[in-house]
A and B are shown apart, each in its own frame.
Chain A
Amino acid sequence: MFELSIAFKYLAPRRRQLSVSIISLISILVIALVVWLIVVFFSVTHGLEKSWIQKLIALTAPVRITPTEAYYHSYYYQADSVSAESNYTLKTIGEKLIAAQTDPYDENVDGEPPKHWNAPDRNLDGSLKDPVKLAFQAIGSLTGVPGLTAHDFEMTVSNLRLRLVRNHAGEEPNQAFLSQAAYVGSLEPDNASIVQALLPPTAEDLDNTLSMLTVASTNIQEDNPEDLPQLNARLAKEQLQRFFGSVRVKELKTPPQGWMLPKRLLPAHAQFTVVVALKNDHIIKLIVPAHANEAVLIQKNLEAAKQKTYIGQLEIVNGEMKLLHADIAESLPLSTPLVIEQGVSFPVELAQASLEQASHIRDVRFNIIFQLQGVALKGEVSYGHLAISQADVMHRYQQSPQHQPLWTYAIQNGKEIHLTIPSDPHNGDGILLPKSFKEAGTLMGDRGYLSYFAPTISSVQEQRLPIYVAGFYDPGIIPIGGKYVLATQEVTSLIRASHNQEDTTLSNGINIRFDNLEQADQIKAELQAAFDKAGIARYWRIETYREFDFTKDLIQQLHSERNLWTLIATVIIIVACSNIISMLIILVNDKKLEIGILRSMGASSTSIALIFGLCGMVMGMVGSMLGMSLAILTLHNLQGLLDLISRLQGHQLFNPVFYGNTLPSEVSVEALIFVVIATTIISLLAGLIPAAKASMLKPSSILRSE
């Protein structure tokens, strides 16, 4: 290929062709810059889009099958309501799936079905067609879909009311009610994306769970704040053992108003720097800072609150307390309270023996070993007024736990995952709340009820289903996410049974999940074909995540944004590559004579065009390679770069609320392919114009003009 060799000779920078060299360098740099920008931008937006879609469909599914009107009007669906076999109750899809008989109607026992019903849809052999079982069969027969699972789901609406009981020691007990209309959806136990989205219990959650643990639910459904009765000793003991069976408390901390240090923890001889608080010249308490040098700060804070104080030394000799201040030693009565300031945490270990005996949280004791101003405190303290500051919480297991936790937990066995929302005879059924509730002050362990209205013969009755908060999850950006409560299928079934089932299309259906989202359309098409073949197509509507009511708009928006950006990127690449045209035209003029010589030696005009076309393409490719390497380098160090920019401008560059805590930094292969193809084609096209000019030069006129 002499064309290639000549093209390279032309591109190699040379002093004689300074203008050509500079222009070609600039065009390569501009292309590199554009490629860098496009690859970085596309990789980040692509990653964001992917994670958004993942979050978007965490609650729904990539493909969802819902019953059509034809299903609800079918004999198959309605037959249950007139059959003794089915207890005269309609069945959900899940119940239909496990029903023993497709046609529960028995003419010997049951009354005649109404005349206006549609005729039964029968198979050739006369048996009733079973759309639910056939649908699941069709799903099961799909092949080549990794991670395929299918679950029926139920969704309903209910009013959620939570009673937030906050008993901070030293403060008035405080109760608030939180009421909200909510969607209640059934949790699919093997939905891995929900497992990802679960928020682990925090220390406050544990404290709240613990304090609500022994509260009986007898009047928790009342709307007026009343004292809450405690469980009896035996039940309380069981609850405590269950709690501590799944939590290992590692650190406790002192509450906001400080913590009265039990004197029995003190050694026989010790010395502390203390802040002495006075009232009417009487010592009311001694505040012991965690470190002696913090005394001044504490004093300052107290004096700001108009408390008279001074700093002294407390000496304990043989259990006697003596206060040294300004060279005066003063004996103190043993009853003088010693208080440790707020927010001091110390390592503890549960005293197992106390748990065996405990029938109230008060009775649970912890062993503490703590250095207070260099003095070792040792002994048992009761949980009493302290708060948990650090704990190991079990919420992921390899096998079924011995003590079922009070919060949502996952059992992972290899690739299989099983999620459980526990229910509790005393607390009610557990529910999973979206994290917006947490931000509004709800804590794990809060109790309340779901209310719904059930029609009876004479009236509509409000039903209340006791529940407690068994965890929080991140619903992602689905528009209804803030109101989407997850509960067990029993809970959703119960509430849904009281509603008119045809109300909304989303009330019942089958969620199909699989690993690779790209397969959604293919799966939909395959299922449609299978349903057509089984003759059940009219009972079902198959939708991919792009078509759901809740998500359609967002996904379409994401899609059109991507198209728009692709268009803009193409335009930018064209602009960048147009530099190549001017550079090559200069080059052609420079090399006219050589073109003539090559032609005289028999090089065809195509060869000449190829030389300059190659020049353009090589420049485009070098530029895009350079840009891509820069982009990959940038993406590898993306977080550091963002931190730097954030520091420079003084606030976060990307709000974590929208973009998550870390931007995706995976290089998008699609973006790379797009850029490589686009720059190569466009630079080749850009090279074609000068190449055409070069190939149309007549050798005779070039050579004659010399």
Chain B
Amino acid sequence: MNRKIALKAQNLHKTFYHPIKASIIRGIDLTVHQGEAVAITGRSGEGKSTLLQLLGALETPCRGVLEIAEQPVTRLNKSKIRNKHIGFIFQFFHLLEDYTALENTLMPACIARRDISKGSEAYQRGQELLEHVGLTERAHFNAKLLSGGEKQRVAIARAFCNDPDIIFADEPSGNLDKETAAQIHTLLLDVARRGNKSIVIVTHDPDLAGLCHSNYILQNGLLI
């Protein structure tokens, strides 16, 4: 089977020089195919989040090559790639508090300068996504008023808004109780599967890791 490659990282290195020199990532190679779910676990402070930011083009590697959706990531196309091909889900949800759930969901479309007026294609997609995550009634609630689980569901919907190729989730359930966490896990993987999206999850949760196709452990700056 010749599947499309969603992410290809070769020999990624990241070293911080402040406050002291610390080589966090020391040559990582990773390939994620379309529709594949990958879990990365590891102890706290190993640099899982840094790795995720490197893979998600939020951080610039010191050395190495990153390709997303078969395009090499450069300084100039980073923003565009993040917008078009990548979705992020954070531990602390990171919604824009002044906007409603639907507006938050549509923000990536908005940044892509697509029409998000009522009845537009993007608007419909936003509502569909909220329906997938079961928040249709909450669509016009201000983000401030939602519970943690609801916020994370909005964040999931937002991550899928621009129909990206790959989703990065950083401890998506780290801030939720067990039951809600389980719901979120199922939902996340379900939505990803439905869209045939690749997903890279950084987590401490063995349950979540167990649900993924492949598991890696980050240790001493290398993936095992």
List residues of chain A with CB under 8 Å of any chain B CB: 2, 5, 9, 593-594, 596-605, 607, 698-700, 703-704, 706
Contact = CB atoms under 8 A, between A and B. Distances in A.
Interface stretch (B105-113, B185-193, B203-211): B105-113
A602 B84 contact: yes
Contacts of A600: 56, 58, 82, 88, 90, 94
A604 B83 CA distance: 9
B82 A601 contact: yes
Given A598-B107, A607-B111, A703-B53, 11 more contacts: A2-B110, A594-B97, A597-B95, A598-B96, A599-B58, A601-B88, A603-B79, A700-B53, A703-B58, A703-B90, A706-B94
A177 B131 CA distance: 106
B59 interface: yes
Interface SS, A side: helix
B50 interface: yes
Given A601-B83, A602-B79, A704 B111 contact: no
B192 to A, nearest CB: 18
Nearest to A14: B98
B164 to A, nearest CB: 10
Given A700-B58, A703-B58, A704-B49, A602 B92 contact: no
Given A2-B110, A9-B98, A602 B49 contact: no
Contact of A2 (B81, B90, B111): B111
Interface in B148-194: 158, 162
Nearest to A701: B59
B80 interface: yes
Contacts, number: 68
A598 B111 contact: yes
Nearest to A606: B79
Contacts of B98: 9
Interface string B69-88: 00000000001111110101
Size category of the binding interface on chain B: 20 to 34
Contacts of A602: 79-84, 86, 108, 111-112, 162
A594 B83 CA distance: 16
From A603, A700, A704, name the one whose CB has the most chain B CB atoms within 10 angstroms: A700
Contacts of A698: 59
Given A602-B108, A700-B58, A594 B96 contact: yes
Contacts of B158: 601
Contacts of B79: 599, 602-605
Contacts of B56: 600
Contacts of A2: 107, 110-111, 113
Nearest to A12: B98
Contacts of A601: 82-83, 88, 107-108, 111, 158
A593 B94 contact: yes
Contact of B111 (A603, A700, A706): A603
Contacts of B82: 599-602
A699 B56 CA distance: 11
A75 B142 CA distance: 95
A5 B98 CA distance: 11
Nearest to B14: A700
A2 B83 CA distance: 14
A704 B53 contact: yes
Contacts of B88: 600-601
16 contacts: A2-B107, A2-B113, A9-B98, A600-B58, A600-B90, A600-B94, A601-B83, A601-B107, A602-B80, A602-B84, A603-B79, A603-B83, A604-B79, A604-B80, A699-B58, A700-B50
A5 B88 CA distance: 22
Contacts of A699: 58
B50 to A, nearest CB: 7
B70 to A, nearest CB: 18
A661 B110 CA distance: 60
Nearest to B161: A601
9 smallest beta-carbon distances between A and B, as pairs? A602-B83, A602-B82, A700-B59, A604-B79, A2-B110, A597-B94, A700-B58, A700-B53, A9-B98
A703 B107 CA distance: 18
Interface in B23-65: 49-50, 53, 56, 58-59
B13 to A, nearest CB: 15
Nearest to A596: B94
Nearest to B107: A601
Nearest to B83: A602
A74 B152 CA distance: 99
A600 B91 CA distance: 14
Contacts of A9: 98-99
Given A601-B82, A601-B88, A704 B108 contact: no
